[in-house]
Structure 1
Amino acid sequence: MGNDGHSPAPTVPEAPAEGPVPAPTRRVPRPLSPLREHLRDTFWFTPTLGLVGAVVGAVGVLAVDELFVRLLQEDGDYDTVASLIKIANDMRTIVSTAGSAMLTFVGVVFSISLVALQMASGQFTPRVVRLYVRSRITKCAFAVFLATFLFALLVQASYEGEDDPRKVTTVPVFSSIVCVLLVLVSLGLFIAYVNSTLRLMRVSHVIDRIIRESLRVLDKHARGGGTAPLPPAGPEIVHRGRAGVLRDVHIARLVRVARRHGVVLRLIPRIGDYVVPGTPVLAVHGAGKAPPARALRYTVSVGVERTFHQDIGFGLRQLSDIAQRALSPAVNDPTTAVQCLDRIVQFLAAVARRPLGALCHCDRAGAVRLVQDLPGWTDLVDLGLTEVRRCATGSPQVTRRLMAGLDDLWALAPEARREPLERHRALLAQAVTRAVPDAAEREFALVPDRQGIG
C-alpha cells in the first residue's frame, strides 16, 4: 500500500426517516476474528489438527501402556501381564483391520461427496460448495477418519512379538481400546456426515443455511449506524497486493493503527468489491500523520470469491442466483424460486428499519477510528429482487409471491424507504402486462399470495 491523491467528501450514512440516528456502536472486535473465518473457509486445517492429535494421543496412550506394564512387573504380577498380552493379541485383528480399511473408506466417502457436490452446484449455484467446505460436521468427520487411520497404524507398530510377561516392555491394551473407540466414533460421524451431505442436496436446507449465515452477519456488522462529521480528508492509501475480491478487513488492527496515528480511516470500497493494485482502499481523515504501509500490512484481505465474514449482501446474491437458475427454461422450478423469495423477504424485513450506509468502529475510549461503507436499503432491495423479477414474468406462482412480499415490506419499511418497493411493484406490473396478453391471466398473476399459488 502507498499514499496518493485525496479522497472525495465522505457520504452521509443512510438512516431511517423515523426516530433519531443512533450513536455509533462501540465495537472492539476480536483480534483473531479474520483468521478464524479464513480457517473456516479452508478444508485442510481441521483434518491436519486431527492427524496431529492422533500422533500426540498415540504417544500418550502408548506411554500409559508401557508405564502400566512396568508397574505390574515391578510388583511381580506376571499373571496380569500375561492376561493383558492375551487381550492385546485378541484385539490386534481389529486394530489391523481398522488401519487397512480406514484410508480406503475415506477415499470412497470423499469420491461420493464430490459427486454430490457436483450435482448440488449444477442444480442450485456453484457457491453452495462453500457450505460444504465450511461444514463443521464434514471437517470433523474427515479429521476423525484420518486420525483413526493414523492412530491404528501407530498402535499396530507398537505390538511386540514377545509373549513372556517378564521380558515384554509394553502391551498396547489401552491404546487398542482407544482405537476401537475411535472406530465407533468414526461410524457415528459417518452417519452424521451422510445426513449432512444429503441435506446439502435439498434446496430448502441450502437456502436455510444461507439465510441463517446472512442474518448472523447482519447482526454482527450492521448494528448501529450514523457517524459524526469526519475530519478533513487527507491522503488515500492504495492497494498494493494482488487483485481480487475484498473479502474482509482486519478491523481491530486498523482501529489500533488509526488510534496510534491520531486519524480516522475510511474504507473506500465495500466488502465484496473487486479491487486491483493501485486503486484506493483507505482514506485518511484528520490532522494526524498517515499510517505507513508497514503498519497496514495484512489489514486488507482479498481472495478469489466473496465470503460471509463481513459481507451482508452475499446471502442475497446467493439466493438470487438460486432463484434465477430455478426459473431458467432448463430447470423450470418456480417452487424453488418462491422458497428463495421467502428468505429474501425475510432478510429485507430484518433490515427494513436498521440504519444502513456506514458502520463506525471505535477504539476503547469510544472515539470513531474506522468508518466502513455498507450497502444501503435501495442497494439491498435491488440486489434481492431485480433479477428474480425480470425472470419471473412467465410464472404466476413467482409473481404472486413477489407481489405479496412487496406488500409485506411496504408495510414494514418507513415511509422514506418505500420508493424502491413501489418502483419494483410498477416494473413487475409492466413486465407482466407485456408478457401476458390475456387480461384475466394478468390479473391472476398480480394477486398477492404468500404461497405463490396457495
Structure 2
Amino acid sequence: MWFRAGLFCVFAVLLALASAFLGHTISYDFAAKVGSKSVDGILSLLASSMLAVTTFSLTAMVQAYAGATSNITPRAVQLLIDDSTSQNALATFLGSFLFAIVGIIALSTGIYGNTGRVILYAGTILVILFIVVTFLRWIQHIARFGRVSDTIDRVERAATDAVRMMTQPPRFGAEDNASVPSGAHVVHHEKIGRITHVDLAQIGEVADAIGADIHLVCIPGHLVDPAKPLAWVRATIDDDQACLIRDAFTIEHHRTFDHDPRFGLVVLGEIAARALSPAVNDPGTAIAVVEAGTRVLAAALRHRPSKDRLPPARVTVPPFAFSDMLEDVFRPIARDGAGTIEVGLRLQKALAALVAIDERAKADCCVEAQDAVDRGRTGLSSDRDIADLSRLHHTLWGNHGVAAP
C-alpha cells in the first residue's frame, strides 16, 4: 500500500521538476488558452477532498475488518487486508493527496511561470481522471467488501490456490504412522510455531551434496517444536548441512493460506460453525460453506502437480491426508448443524459427490458421512427429519458405507 502511495509522490516530484525545466518549450499563448493559472485552485481542492476520501475509505476498510472479526472469523481478516482493490483505492486517494501537496509546494516556490504550469496542469487532469476511475471501482467494490458471501469466496479461492501448490495428490485411507527409523539422523527446529513454507530446492541441494535421500516429516501447516522432528536422513550430516535443512523451513506464529490448503478448510469450517451458533442461526451460510468446501476438496482430488511443483528427486514429502481435510471443514458443520436437517442432508450429498469424483476417497468420505448421520440422529428433534436423513444416508452409502452407483 505504501509503495503505491509512494509512486504517486515520486510522480508529483518528477512532474514539478519537469514543469520547471521543460516549461520554456511551451508558448505563452498556449498556456493562456488552456487556463493553466487555475491549477492552484484545482490542487487545493484536490488536497482537501482527497484527505476526506482517504479518511472515509480507511474507515470503511477498518469497519469491514472489524465486522469480519466479530461476525465471520478472525482468521479471514488477512484475506481482506490483502485485497488488491481496496489497497489500490486507498493508495490512489492517499497518493493523490500527496501529489496535490507537492504540487502546491512547488507552485509556492515560484520556480516556473505560466508556461511551466501547463505541464503541472496536464498532470493534474491525468490524476483526476485516474481518481474518477478508481473511485467508481471502489464504490462497486465496497458494496460487497467484507460481507459473508464475499469472505467465503475469498477463503475458497485461497484454499484452492493452496491446493494447486501441493507437491502431490492427497493420501487416502488410514493415517500413516511410520516412525523415524533407528540410526537415522534427525533434524529438529529450535522455534515453536507453524510451518508456512518449505524451500524444497534448498533441501534438494543438501541431499545431492550428501548423496542420500532426505525424508520430510512436517509440511506447511504443521506445528513444530524442539521435540518434533522436521526431517530425517540415513546419512551423516554436519552442523552446516543440518542448519541448511532447518533454515529451509519458514516458521511463523500463525498459519497462512499460501501453501496450507487445510488452513483454508479450517477457516471455512469456522465460518459455518459461527453461522450455526444459536446467536446467528443461519443455516444458509453453512450450506454455502459446504458447497465451497466441496469445490476445494474436489480440486484436491483432481490435483496433479505440474513439473515445477514436483519435489527434487532425493527429497520425500509426505502428502496431505484427505481424511484430515474432510474433518477440517465438515466436522464442525456436522457438530454444530446436527439439529438442522437441511445441513445434514447437504453434507451427505456433498460427501457422495466427492466419491463420484474419485473412488479412492470412498473410505474417508464414508467415515465422515457416518459421523454426520450419527450426530444428526442425536441432534434432530423430529422423527420425520431423522427418517429423512437416515433414508438419504442409506440411499447414498448403503448398509456398509458404500456409495450407491
Calculate the TM-score normalised by the size of structure 1: 0.74
Task: Give me the identity figure in percent.
Answer: 23
Which of residues 9, 14, 21 is equivalent to 1:67? 21
Q: In the alignment, is residue 145 of structure 1 matched against residue 89 of structure 2?
A: no
Distance 2:115 2:205 in 1: 55
Shift of 1:397: 0.7
State which drifts further: 90-99 or 292-301: 292-301
Q: Counterpart of 1:237 in 2: which secondary structure?
A: strand
Which of residues 196, 211, 236 is equivalent to 2:186? 236
CA contact 1:432–1:442 (8 Å) conserved in 2: yes
Consecutive unaligned residues of structure 1, counting only runs of 5 or more, are: 1-46, 450-454
1:279/1:430 CA distance change after superposition, 3 Å: closer
Q: Counterpart of 1:177 in 2: which secondary structure?
A: helix
Consecutive unaligned residues of structure 2, counting only runs of 5 or more, are: 172-179, 394-405
Q: In the alignment, is residue 425 of structure 1 matched against residue 369 of structure 2?
A: yes
Match of 2:346 in 1: 401
Q: In the alignment, is residue 271 of structure 1 matched against residue 220 of structure 2?
A: yes
Which of residues 413, 420, 441 is equivalent to 2:385? 441
CA contact 2:210–2:235 (8 Å) conserved in 1: no
Shift of 1:263: 4.0
Q: Counterpart of 1:171 in 2: which secondary structure?
A: helix
Shift of 1:136: 0.9
1:294/1:410 CA distance change after superposition, 3 Å: closer
Match of 2:2 in 1: 48
1:194/1:333 CA distance change after superposition, 3 Å: same
CA contact 2:185–2:233 (8 Å) conserved in 1: yes
Distance 1:235 1:209 in 2: 41
Aligned-partner residue type, residue 127 of structure 2: L
Q: Counterpart of 2:37 in 1: which secondary structure?
A: helix
Which of residues 97, 112, 123 is equivalent to 2:60? 112
Aligned-partner residue type, residue 300 of structure 1: F
Distance 2:29 2:392 in 1: 82
Which of residues 128, 138, 142 is equivalent to 1:197? 142
Shift of 1:438: 4.4
Question: 1:68-95 CA deviation, whole Å, 9 max, x = no partner?
Answer: 22345xxxx55456x28x8332121111
Which of residues 43, 52, 69 is equivalent to 1:95? 43
5 Å-filtered alignment, 1:5-44, equals: none
Distance 1:106 1:298 in 2: 41
CA contact 1:246–1:303 (8 Å) conserved in 2: yes
1:127/1:171 CA distance change after superposition, 3 Å: same
Which of residues 152, 165, 169 is equivalent to 1:207? 152
CA contact 1:361–1:371 (8 Å) conserved in 2: no
Which of residues 132, 145, 161 is equivalent to 1:187? 132
Match of 1:316 in 2: 265
Distance 2:142 2:391 in 1: 38
Distance 2:246 2:235 in 1: 21
Match of 1:44 in 2: none
Shift of 1:53: 1.5
Q: Runs of 4+ in structure 1 displaced over 6 angstroms?
A: 230-233
Which of residues 155, 159, 163 is equivalent to 2:103? 155
Distance 1:205 1:259 in 2: 46
Distance 1:340 1:71 in 2: 62
Which of residues 339, 342, 358 is equivalent to 1:413? 358
Question: 1:253-277 CA deviation, whole Å, 9 max, x = no partner?
Answer: 3333443444433332231122235
Distance 1:94 1:233 in 2: 76
Distance 2:323 2:71 in 1: 29
Aligned-partner residue type, residue 127 of structure 1: R
Shift of 1:396: 0.7
1:378/1:278 CA distance change after superposition, 3 Å: closer
1:143/1:371 CA distance change after superposition, 3 Å: farther
Question: 1:232-256 CA deviation, whole Å, 9 max, x = no partner?
Answer: 9742222134x32211123333333
Match of 1:10 in 2: none
Question: 1:203-229 CA deviation, whole Å, 9 max, x = no partner?
Answer: 223222222222222123244689xxx
Match of 2:401 in 1: none
Aligned-partner residue type, residue 205 of structure 1: D
Shift of 1:320: 0.7
Matched residue pairs, number?
A: 383
Q: In the alignment, is residue 219 of structure 1 matched against residue 164 of structure 2?
A: yes
Higher relative contact order (CA 8 A, sep 6+): 1
Distance 1:344 1:224 in 2: 17
